[in-house]
Amino acid sequence: MLSFIFPGQGSQYAGMGKDLADQFAVARQTFEEADEALGFGLSRLCFEGPEDDLKLTENTQPAILAASVAALRVLRQERDLTPAFVAGHSLGEYSALVCAGGLSFADALRTVRLRGQFMQQAVPVGVGAMAAIIGLDAPDVQSVCAAACGAEIVSPANFNSPGQVVIAGHAAAVERAIELARGKGAKRALPLPVSAPFHCPLMVPAGERLAEVLATLEYGTLQVPVVTNVEARANQLSERIAELLVTQVSAPVRWEESVEYMVDQGVSRFIEIGPGKVLAGLVKRIAKGVEVGNLEDCAGLQKI
């Protein structure tokens, strides 16, 4: 069995999608659709940068989505592959929903641009922070966060793979958690260069604003089960899409469990579709022996 997986924020780079757009009309058309849906030159930002503009959350999210959907459409045109499941990391869940038929591409683009704005505006710059904790298991990281909180918030944000957990919350609480994690024997505990503390309770106001947007959308029948970040289980009910996406903003990404679930269901092949190879690397660490590929350019397509 096969799964398509889609990357989230942090995988962006100037030049993403250009190789496929140069070679395939369907990819060029995808970026043209994105430009039209958003009313500005997202394609140029993807292809040329500048990196500083591409790193702005409200630009990063639709840019990665567009590059992922362009790659998906090329894959569908050039290879006869049908996934048993789809999943995405944070933002990537929107790409997965487009793949599964639950969201239109245009609606997803407009929604993730607003999502990026809402997430950035929820916490003033400098108030929140995130950090990667390497070398501690999930229960230890949870206990570190509990001890570091005080009157503030710090909690696990991404359960990425064995021994790799990202935490998020108030900047001072995250700094305390870093020191405690080092004291517990973490191999590394380092702040991440992000503009907001994603996937923690400080994002609840962003989720409330996102809920208003999601309530206006139409949702299609899911043709493929979507393994969600919130539950690490398959959802195939279109009426649950909005609630799960709202919860996702302030809840941890349960990526390790999601991959384990798919493997338990019989998935033995994963293809990461979109910029970068972050998820492919995580899958290799989570599930030994599975086949993993990625498609972000023409070379990746040739290997699939």
- Residue 238 annotated as catalytic: no
Which of 161, 176, 194 is where one domain is finished?
194
pLDDT of residue 39: 96
- Alpha-carbon gap, residue 143 to 221, rounded angstroms: 40
**Catalytic residue chosen out of the listed positions 3, 199, 238, 250:** 199
CATH number of 161's domain:
3.30.70.250
**Catalytic residue chosen out of the listed positions 43, 90, 161, 250:** 90
For the chain of 304 residues, list the mean pLDDT of each consecutive stretch of 10: 96 96 98 97 96 91 97 97 97 98 98 95 92 96 96 97 97 97 95 91 97 98 98 98 98 98 98 97 95 96 94
Residues 94 and 11 in one domain: yes
CATH number of 39's domain:
3.40.366.10
Contacts of 146 (CB under 8 A, 6+ apart): none
The domain containing residue 78 runs over which residues? 2-122+202-303
Residues 242 and 168 in one domain: no
pLDDT of residue 193: 86
pLDDT of residue 183: 94
Count of domains forming the chain: 2
Residues 215 and 265 in one domain: yes
Which of 172, 194, 216 is where one domain is finished?
194
Residues 161 and 221 in one domain: no
- Residue 90 annotated as catalytic: yes
